[in-house]
Structure 1
Amino acid sequence: PQARDGFGPYAGGFTMVPYGDAAALEAAIDENTAAVLIEPIQGEGGVIIPPEGYLRAVREACTANNVLFVADEIQSGLGRVGTTFACDREGVVPDLYLLGKALGGGIIPLSAVVGDRDVLGVIHPGEHGSTFGGNPLAAAVGTTVVEMLASGEFQQRALALGEHLQAQLESLLGSGVTAIRVAGLWAGVDIDPAVGTGREVAEKLLARGVLVKDTHGQTIRMAPPLVIRSTEIDWAIEQLKVVLAG
């Protein structure tokens, strides 16, 4: 409700189904369905990771029904989860990727819709544009980001350091933390209500030099830069321990 109330009226034609339920998704597809739009891992939801095989089932359902599979990888993509895209975790290739955030290298606003020519080719030059689309500086930064990811170095860092982050967070379970969800260098941490709300914990961490984002009341999200060092992760977790201890 917090993300939807007061923001309407919404565009028609969208059917929402429970996340992670492949059967419900396939049942919702009919002859009028043009595309399926999902986050491979839900960001604003609190780093919600779907069941193993879900993305493959979505791909199969879309292919069988001749509808587009659109993956919103604005938060999960470009190395964050230890692979170039979160869809790569299941070896799945969608028809369209939605990209942003990291695509601008953390210094400039940039987003993109990425797909094969047989999909994007339905839009011809001059038929669609935007005021700031194709900005030369933004395009140069985005191209550099893609080139940097080509070696796989940052994906491997996210994977290895993500395991370290997960181990550190697991040590907090039962001590102010009720659950964690980790994918590479991306974590959702559920805070025990006895400690406070996610927002309260986030503000206390901010005062100690650690920036996290609260969501859904009791959850904080951690998304450290892919260049972070393990010692810096240790320091951040120490700050979280202090906050949880009150």
Structure 2
Amino acid sequence: MVAYGDADAVAAAITDDTAAVLIEPIQGEGGVIIPPDGYLRRIREICDEKNALFIADEIQSGLGRVGETFACDREGVVPDLYLLGKALGGGILPVSAVVGNSDVLGVIQPGEHGSTFGGNPLAAAVGLRVVEMLETGEVQERARALGEHLAASLDALIGHGVTAVRIAGLWAGVDIDPALGTGREIAEKLLERGVLVKDTHGQTIRIAPPIVVRATELDWAVEQLRLVLGR
């Protein structure tokens, strides 16, 4: 484990026994932590130099959430393996996948790896449909546009109960002024008003509305946050 966003620390941690570097292009559970510009590109370069695989955990950040198909696309970076889930099931059922080229995944031959639910026909059909929807780019564009709308609303709360906002597409980390309560306390108050967010067991709440959300619904949700903050 190394400090997030520190590419030099990653390079220093790699040895001859290192098989891969596994990172989240944007940290989810940490509070929607967006790395510095160029970080992902540098990780790609380091992995190439050290002959290590670059594995991107895009379970939360991928498949349109951040306004691109993958968060890695924000820097034009292609990892060796993607870890996908959550949105891959289209909100219908749980689906996860490891995606990569045959030169990497091809080392595993039929019968060498088992899975309790592998090959489920319904899950495969749903996952394929999600991929088809992403091919047009409309989902990503919607997340970008609505994310800009959400950002403007949340930024207006900075200094009024909010100390910082980090946002990528329709995914926001909102830091709450400690004088007004913890992230969990604010999340529970929002729940009473019909808004579901997730706290980070600190001062941050994470907002991840469905990509089919309407702008008016985002406005209503931010208004509930404003009322909870007493602002």
Is this a same-fold pair by TM over 0.5? yes
Letter in 1 for 2:199: D
Q: Hey, what does 2:38 align to over in structure 1?
A: 53
Within 5 Å, give how 1:50-199 maps onto structure 2. Answer: 50-199=35-184
The root-mean-square deviation of aligned C-alpha atoms, in Å, is 0.8
Question: How far apart in 2 are the matches of 1:48 and 1:216?
Answer: 15
> In structure 1, how many angstroms separate the alpha carbons of the residues matched to 2:11 and 2:202?
31
CA contact (8 A) 2:184 2:201 kept: no
With normalisation by structure 2, the TM-score equals: 0.99
2:219 to 227, 234, 237: 234
For residues 127 and 22 of structure 1, the distance between their equivalents in structure 2, rounded to whole angstroms, comes to 34
- 2:156 corresponds to which letter in structure 1? S
Q: How many residues align?
A: 231
TM-score, with structure 1 as normaliser = 0.93
Matched-pair contact (CA < 8 Å) for 2:56–2:83? yes
In structure 2, stretches of 5+ residues that fail to align are: none
* Distance of 2:10 and 2:187 partners within structure 1: 34
User: CA shift at 1:129, angstroms?
Assistant: 1.2
Deviation digits for residues 2-51 of structure 1, max 9, x if unmatched? xxxxxxxxxxxxxx110000111111111111000000000000000000
Larger CA deviation: 181-190 vs 25-34: 25-34
- Residue ranges of structure 1 left out of the alignment (5+ in a row): 1-15
Q: Where has structure 1 moved over 3 Å in runs of 4 or more?
A: none
- Equivalent residue letter for 1:66: N
Distance in 2, matches of 1:29 and 1:181, equals 30
Is the CA contact 1:46–1:216 (under 8 Å) kept in the aligned structure 2? no
Identity percentage over the alignment? 78
Report what 1:40 is aligned to. Answer: 25
Distance in 2 (alpha carbons) for counterparts of 1:193 and 1:67: 42
